[in-house]
Chains A and B, each alone.
Chain A
Amino acid sequence: MAGSQDMFDAIVMADERFHGEGYREGYEEGSSLGVMEGRQHGSLQGARIGSEIGCYQGFAFAWKCLLHSCTAEKDSRKMKVLESLIGMIQKFPYDDPTYDKLHEDLDKIRGKFKQVRALVSSCW
């Protein structure tokens, strides 16, 4: 008796069983595709930020060399702000994407770069 009940169960529940299996397979495949896509997207975003900060750093180092010979009092602010920008860039935790102040610090770096750019533009 128990045997024939199992047989009918297998037939009656077939639909639901196939749905379940299909869902699980699809979910697993979707998850792994999602992780790959996310990884690509993350690499791209990370590269963009790296490129942006790298540009600011290069700019700052170049101007630091150019202003090295200037000893006028007025230039002391420029040097101070340049050093501040370089410091901020060096302190930034590049290998921690979960850093809670990531965007706040990035915005501060961007603001500091704009200030440096405005200060040195009067040197042309």
Chain B
Amino acid sequence: MKDSLVLLGRVPAHPDSRCWFLAWNPAGTLLASCGGDRRIRIWGTEGDSWICKSVISEGHQRTVRKVAWSPCGNYLASASFDATTCIWKKNQDDFECVTTLEGHENEVKSVAWAPSGNLLATCSRDKSVWVWEVDEEDEYECVSVLNSHTQDVKHVVWHPSQELLASASYDDTVKLYREEEDDWVCCATLEGHESTVWSLAFDPSGQRLASCSDDRTVRIWRQYPPGNEQGVACSGSDPNWKCVCTLSGFHSRTIYDIAWCQLTGALATACGDDAIRVFEEDPNSDPQQPTFSLTAHLHQAHSQDVNCVAWNPKEPGLLASCSDDGEVAFWKYQRPEGL
């Protein structure tokens, strides 16, 4: 496992503050970071090093908790503790605020664009998940306010190909939502974690969902549509989701983020013990009971809690991470020999 994760470089992205989240643009050429200093920075390569190409310093009154690029790469959404979500339009190295989405009652914890680019989801400490629709004229309208969770909602993520939304919460559950007759409804609740679920990631096919939690485990959930071969019962026309794998004993603290590489299938985790870990599915594992092995474990990846890990969407093995220490680090991951 030595040398499977190699440091390429570090940048002091949000000095004297925390760096909360990272997002690669769809082309894989830019990395957006956001932090407790209320700023968003855009990083790009210049030769071998990473430099700051843009800074968005106006726009939010409090910590920016998450950023997300639209599928076309022309827009960036930012979710802030000031209860708003800003949409920025990219014009070369400049970013202009096209609209501010209001409505949440307190800290917005996450924002995510649907693959179609027409829908956006936000979630908040006010326990709700909001779905927004955007039209060709950059007009945003709230399509639904979902009050299914009973506590702070930490993260939202869209399915890679279906219009299916997933959310993770302090109430220890993961919920899934879909559209039904002009409104959105909660179509599944995934129970099993014993504490706050911090983050989620779909696998490249969208058949499986990985969740990570304060209970120090990663759970892999699999979708079973009605009439499935394995005989898993479904109620109505909604698929049933079952936990098919639990990775426990690998993390010594809360797992804050999980990222599933859409190119290689590798799973990276960001942990409160300052380490980054990578897992890969064993080659001949049973799809109904998959097994994953730890292929990289980097202690002290940062000097404080690692808050986010993000795989580059175009370059296999390129991983970015950020931490409470305010730094962003870039890593090269190589699957170890003999696995």
Contact = CB atoms under 8 A, between A and B. Distances in A.
Contacts of B194: none
Contact of B146 (A84, A111, A118): A111
Contact of B147 (A80, A107, A121): A107
Contacts of B147: 107-108, 110-111
B308 to A, nearest CB: 29
Given A118-B102, A121-B102, A111 B141 contact: no
A114 to B, nearest CB: 4
A115 B102 contact: no
Nearest to B99: A122
A118 B144 contact: no
Interface string A101-114: 00000011011101
Contact of B142 (A74, A84, A107, A118): A118
Contacts of B143: 115
Contacts of A115: 142-145
Nearest to B148: A107
Contacts of B139: 74
A37 B183 CA distance: 41
Contacts of A77: 141
Given A107-B147, A108-B147, A111-B146, A119 B182 contact: no
Interface in A59-82: 74, 77, 80
Contacts of B102: 118, 121
Contacts of A110: 145, 147
Contacts of A111: 128, 144-147
B192 interface: no
Contact residues on A (Cβ < 8 Å of other chain), bracket: 10 to 19
A63 to B, nearest CB: 15
Interface in B117-135: 128, 130
B141 A114 contact: no
A80 B142 contact: no
B265 to A, nearest CB: 37
B227 interface: no
B103 interface: yes
Contact of A117 (B103, B128, B146, B182): B103
Contacts of B142: 115, 118-119
Interface in B75-123: 102-103
A23 B43 CA distance: 76
Contacts of A74: 139
Interface string B166-207: 000000000000000011000000000000000000000000
A114 B145 contact: yes
Contacts of A117: 103
Interface in A27-62: none
A118 B148 CA distance: 19
A50 to B, nearest CB: 19
A119 to B, nearest CB: 6
A87 to B, nearest CB: 12
Nearest to B182: A80
Nearest to A110: B147
Contacts of A107: 147-148
Contacts of A118: 102-103, 130, 142, 145
Interface of A: 74, 77, 80, 84, 107-108, 110-112, 114-115, 117-119, 121
25 contacts: A74-B139, A77-B141, A80-B182, A84-B183, A107-B148, A108-B147, A110-B145, A110-B147, A111-B144, A111-B146, A111-B147, A112-B145, A114-B103, A114-B128, A115-B142, A115-B143, A115-B144, A115-B145, A117-B103, A118-B102, A118-B103, A118-B130, A118-B145, A119-B141, A119-B142
Given A107-B148, A110-B147, A114-B145, 17 more contacts: A77-B141, A80-B182, A84-B183, A107-B147, A110-B145, A111-B128, A111-B145, A111-B146, A114-B103, A114-B128, A115-B142, A115-B143, A115-B144, A115-B145, A118-B142, A118-B145, A119-B142
Ranked nearest first, the 8 interchain pairs of A and B with the lowest CB-CB distance are: A111-B145, A107-B147, A118-B103, A118-B142, A114-B145, A115-B145, A111-B147, A115-B142
